[in-house]
Amino acid sequence: MASSGDNRGMKVIRLKEGKERSLQRRHPWIFDSAIAKGGGDAGETVRVESHDGQFLAWAAFSPASKIRARAWSLRAEQRIDAAFFADTIRRAVAARARFPIASDSLRLVHGEADGLPGLIVDRYGDLLSAQFLSAGTERWKDVIADALVEVTGIAHLYERSDSGVRGLEGLPPVTGWLRGGERAGGTAVTIHEHELKLTLDVAEGHKTGYYIDQRDNRRLFTEVVRQFGCRSVLNCYSYTGGFSVAALAGGATEVVSVDSSAPALARASAHVELNGFDPAHHQALDADVNAQLRAFIKEGRTFDAIILDPPKFAPTAAHAERAARAYKDINRLGFKLLSPGGLLLTFSCSGGVGAELFHKIVAGAGMDAGVDGYLLKRLEASSDHPTTIAFPEGEYLKGLMILKR
């Protein structure tokens, strides 16, 4: 059970000399290697002190993780209790009301950026889907679940704590209803994003159910497809075809979705019809993207616009080198398939590949393909997935919109 919230008599962890600096800069992670002594149980709130005993933070202890504790608060007088979670969630939700979000589906809590390390909460229409990814959020799960229902007024809360990162915390995967399981429609939901309707299932969809982080980029894609008069569009790693219906909405008449997941492609085709577009304008190809790009090059096909939105090739910086080769390969092939004046929207959602490195990789791919382009725009996740200045690690999705010269 969660601790009482009374700060007296809390366990203490003492940092090594000099290791207080990152917390003082509001960075919430305390690494195993920074700790001189002390500890606690999984998820227990501990008092973090500098080497000379000064208060630094209240933090959740994670005995199994290299990130050994995550700060909840840097204020000595703050109690970590149910009111703390309700207030912090309320602030995160209130911030979203100030962002321009044309959708009934959005990220309400984005972990560290919202002061709740390890907690992800997405709203999809009339339900919430959450991930508890740290020992601290796991320990406070019941309290957090109650606060989410109270603050949002949404009764249905599904848990999707099946992300691999839970393993690093020594936590097993958990999924299922946390609150309000008796919902008409079960775990299936139709969301309304800009003028598009998209369906998903929070029990089966990727991440918490869908890629709402690409919402603004899908909208932008509709606009540029219209603006540049793109007719043929290749959507690589299409998943359920979000960018494909966005292209059709912009007037494209020959859209190809490529993915290696048959169920995702079936949903992509259903999305074409659900949004009232001509099914003859869309083709779903169950294939490996790399192989399919090579096949299109052999056939001499070209496309007016291409999306490359692959899965995370580099979860951490340790995988960056191999990932760089994979990104370069698909981007080189993509460049070769662009019509004259064609548009490439290319993404990386790898935390281990920063924006600058990604730009370099794409530049190298263009070089190898013999293609130069105007960099029209740098792309990022939608505003409900914010990055804070103190926590740059939160920035994961980056992309480039390039117009072939």
Q: How far is the CB of 183 from ligand SAH (least distance, A)?
A: 23
Q: Reduced to 3 states, what is the DSSP secondary structure of residue 294?
A: helix
Among the residues of 74-134, which ranges form H helices? 82-96
Tell me the torsion sign for CA atoms 26, 28, 32, 36. Answer: positive
What whole-number distance in Å separates Cα of residue 65 and Cα of residue 23? 18
Hey, which residues between 205 and 224 contact ligand SAH (CB under 6 A)?
211, 214
Q: What does the per-residue mask of binding to ligand SAH show for 284-313, with x meaning CB under 6 A?
A: ----xx-------------------x-x--
Q: Does residue number 252 form part of the binding site for ligand SAH (CB under 6 A)? A: no
Task: Identify which of residues 239 and 358 has a Cβ nearer to ligand SAH in the complex.
Answer: 239
53 Cβ contact list (under 8 Å, min separation 6): 14
- Does 236 participate in catalysis according to the annotation? no
Residue tagged 């029209």 (tokens): 376
Select from 29, 124, 237, 391 the one that contacts ligand SAH (CB under 6 A): 237
Task: Identify which of residues 88 and 240 has a Cβ nearer to ligand SAH in the complex.
Answer: 240
Q: Does residue number 242 form part of the binding site for ligand SAH (CB under 6 A)? A: yes
Q: How far is the CB of 238 from ligand SAH (least distance, A)?
A: 6
Q: Does residue number 204 form part of the binding site for ligand SAH (CB under 6 A)? A: no
CB of 228 closer than 8 Å to CB of 305: yes
Q: Does residue number 261 form part of the binding site for ligand SAH (CB under 6 A)? A: yes
CB of 22 closer than 8 Å to CB of 58: no
Structure tokens at 366: 């263009």
Task: Identify which of residues 167 and 311 has a Cβ nearer to ligand SAH in the complex.
Answer: 311
Taking CB under 6 A as the binding criterion, the range among 145-153, 181-189, 254-262, 316-324 that sits at the site for ligand SAH is: 254-262
Element (H, E) at 59: strand 55-61
What whole-number distance in Å separates Cα of residue 113 and Cα of residue 120? 10
Please give the positions annotated as active site. 349
- List interacting residues with ligand SAH (CB under 6 A): 211, 214, 237-240, 242-243, 259-261, 264, 288-289, 309, 311
